[in-house]
Amino acid sequence: MDIKKLQSLIIDALEDIKAQDIRVYDTTHLTGLFDRIAIASGTSNRQTKALASSVRDKVKENGGNILSIEGEDTGEWVLVDMGDMVVHIMQPAIRAYYRLEEIWGDKEVEFYAGKRISTRTAAEEEAPKKISRHLTTSQTLKLEDDTSKRTPACKKQVETDGAKKAVGKTIKVAPAKSSVPPQKAAATKKAPAKKPALNRVPTKTKAAE
């Protein structure tokens, strides 16, 4: 089986059982015994055994060979040997103690790169295209003039903006007329008080006569 296909099958098998901190290293420049080594963590004896079983079943279903499986009796460290690739499934404490990454981790294989790129590309294709904020003035005016492609919300915004621009224009307004008729308004005005004449002689009263 091709090493890349075998590597992909093993990664899928580990991910199906929720393996933690999966690492794959290229060991062709370090040893001639195998080309790849995979290291993954399981949180319990039960999970490490399930991870080893998942790898074994996945490889066999696709025509691969399993040379040996070791450590299933305890479940602290299970090794699955497939000839070209060896998988170490370890509990976190055992993995931190033996530090296999320092021995074999000279050249790590970025197996997630292809999946991440394909997933991001599909999401970008499905997402609606957004208008860039860095358009030139001519491009922006062209977009605003193209009313055939405007949505109802966009048309409403354009109308609102137009009303705001009209506020700045000078509008002549006729003076307000009084609601009171002119005749009544004149009648309601008080006549000015008459000032007493200084040279007027007071009339005699009957008592004085």
**Is the distance from CB of 63 to CB of 43 less than 8 angstroms?**
no
Give residue for tokens 């279903």. Answer: 61
- Measured between alpha carbons, how far is residue 190 from residues 43, 91, 187, 194 in Å? 103, 107, 8, 12
Tell me what pLDDT residue 1 has: 83
CATH architecture assigned to 3-120? 2-Layer Sandwich (3.30)
Tell me what pLDDT residue 106 has: 87
Tens of pLDDT along the chain (209 residues) come to: 889 999 999 999 999 999 999 999 999 999 999 999 999 999 999 999 999 999 999 999 999 999 999 999 999 999 999 999 999 999 999 999 999 999 998 899 987 643 433 334 444 444 444 444 444 444 545 555 554 555 555 555 555 555 444 444 555 555 555 545 555 544 445 555 555 554 554 544 444 43
Burial zone of 79 (CB within 10 Å; 0-12 exposed, 13-18 middle, 19+ buried) = middle
Tell me what pLDDT residue 9 has: 94
Mode of pairing for the β-strands spanning 68-70 and 77-81: antiparallel
Tell me what pLDDT residue 182 has: 52
Give residue for tokens 């999966």. Answer: 22
Mode of pairing for the β-strands spanning 77-81 and 85-90: antiparallel
Tell me what pLDDT residue 28 has: 93
Tell me what pLDDT residue 25 has: 96
Tell me what pLDDT residue 118 has: 35
User: Where in the chain are the domains?
Assistant: 3-120
Mode of pairing for the β-strands spanning 36-41 and 85-90: parallel
Provide the H-helix boundaries in 37-181: 45-61, 92-98, 100-104, 113-126, 137-145, 152-166
